[in-house]
Amino acid sequence: MVTLHGPLRPALELRTPYFMRIALGTILIQTFSVMVLMDGVGHGGGEAVAFSARSGCGVVFNNRITRTGSGVAILMNMADFRVQNSEFPNLFPPFCFSGSWTITSLTRSGTTVTVTVANKTLPGGVTGHGLQNGIGEYVRIRGCNQSDYNGIFPLGSVLNSTQFTYQVTSSQATTGTGTMRYSQPWDSNTDQDAANVADAWGYPCLDQNGWGQGDLLSGWVSPLWNFVGWPHQIMEGVYIWGNTINGSPTAPTDFSDQSPVAKIGREIFLSAKPGYTPYTYPHPLVGGAAPTPTPTPPTAPANLRITGP
């Protein structure tokens, strides 16, 4: 959980593009009553962003943002670290990119199946399968007319950016046919049948914005996982309300949604979370309250004697 709470005073000053970036598997966000002073230009010389999240769910409310200098101030930017950042593939093992890729060729020699996928355009650029050797990744194959080649398999090896292998025992034809796609098993992939593969993002994706609790992922024994599959995460949402920028209430235009899978009105709500009660801050165990005093022991008598029978 990421919790950020502050008294309403200008105790924080930002001179970088983001005051706080939440990423890589954050489950719960709670940011409230913080006053942020943003000074200088934003990311890439453009807008300055107070908060940025790439995963998790939670609340962002009653924060006071002061923007000095030129440029546009944005309260919060939402992105998804697995979907969008093909320029940072080393951050994601063993989960790789979410979404689906069109398989242009599937052939078998002995027990080794070689798969070729078409490049796909993501917001971070054009990318192939995104898999890496030696980190316990898996591949999910579907749509092959030869059923032995469909399923979830440990990655064999990466041959290049568009080709990889896996192992299977089969007596079926050595060349796969059909409308075949490769994807990751960690995502729910409800959009996997999108007519245009560019629209198949893997939604809902593992640890994407707005989705929280799920099955425990454990039992990792290098290089393979004992648990492989969508961990049944629950959509809990990100709620944003009561924030101001330079004294004015934030508007939808002060929120940047760069995510293809987290949508306003579905995962992201620009309103108070119904029934929400903030966590106690500081926690009662660290709140600084004086401990209960230890009772003073009675004074020992000085005139006692022990006599035998």
DSSP string, 93-114: TTT---SEEEEEEEEEETTEEE
Report yes or no: 198 and 224 within 8 Å, Cβ to Cβ: no
- Domains of the chain with CATH codes: 2-80+234-284 (no CATH), 87-203 (2.40.30.180)
In terms of Cβ atoms closer than 10 Å to its own Cβ (0-12, 13-18, 19+), residue 53 is: buried
- pLDDT (mean) for 254-267: 81
**Band of residue 57 on the pLDDT scale cut at 50, 70, 90:** confident
The rounded distance, in Å, linking the Cα atoms of 108 and 110 is: 6
Name the range with the highest mean pLDDT among 69-73, 215-219, 231-235, 243-247: 231-235
- Mean residue pLDDT of the chain comes to 77
Per-residue CA distances from 22 to 32, 46, 155, 207, 217 (Å): 15, 20, 30, 12, 20
- pLDDT (mean) for 242-256: 80
- pLDDT (mean) for 59-67: 84
**Considering the entire predicted model, what is its pTM?**
0.75
- pLDDT value at residue 145: 98
Residue 45, φ and ψ in degrees, nearest 5? 85, 5
- pLDDT value at residue 130: 85
The rounded distance, in Å, linking the Cα atoms of 97 and 83 is: 6
6 or 47, higher pLDDT: 47
- pLDDT (mean) for 224-253: 83
User: What letter represents residue 263's amino acid?
Assistant: K
1 has a pLDDT exceeding 60: no
- pLDDT value at residue 46: 53
- pLDDT (mean) for 215-235: 74
Lowest-pLDDT choice from 6-20, 23-37, 77-91, 117-131: 6-20
Report the DSSP beta bridge partners of residue 151.
141
Report yes or no: 26 and 52 within 8 Å, Cβ to Cβ: no
152 has a pLDDT exceeding 70: yes
**Band of residue 28 on the pLDDT scale cut at 50, 70, 90:** low
The rounded distance, in Å, linking the Cα atoms of 19 and 248 is: 19
What is the sign of the dihedral through the CA atoms of 120, 121, 123 and 128?
positive
**In which order are the strands placed within the sheet that holds 73-78?**
18-22, 48-53, 73-78, 255-257
- pLDDT value at residue 4: 45
Secondary structure element (H or E) that encloses residue 38, with its range: strand 35-39
Name the range with the highest mean pLDDT among 6-15, 79-88, 224-233: 224-233
Q: Distance from first CA to last CA of the chain, Å, rounded?
A: 68
- pLDDT value at residue 302: 65
The rounded distance, in Å, linking the Cα atoms of 231 and 188 is: 8
159 has a pLDDT exceeding 90: yes
- pLDDT value at residue 281: 65
Name the range with the highest mean pLDDT among 66-70, 176-180, 288-292: 176-180
- pLDDT (mean) for 110-128: 88
238 has a pLDDT exceeding 60: yes
261 has a pLDDT exceeding 80: yes
Taking only the tens place, the pLDDT of each residue in 71-94 is 667 888 887 767 655 445 555 566
- pLDDT (mean) for 176-183: 96
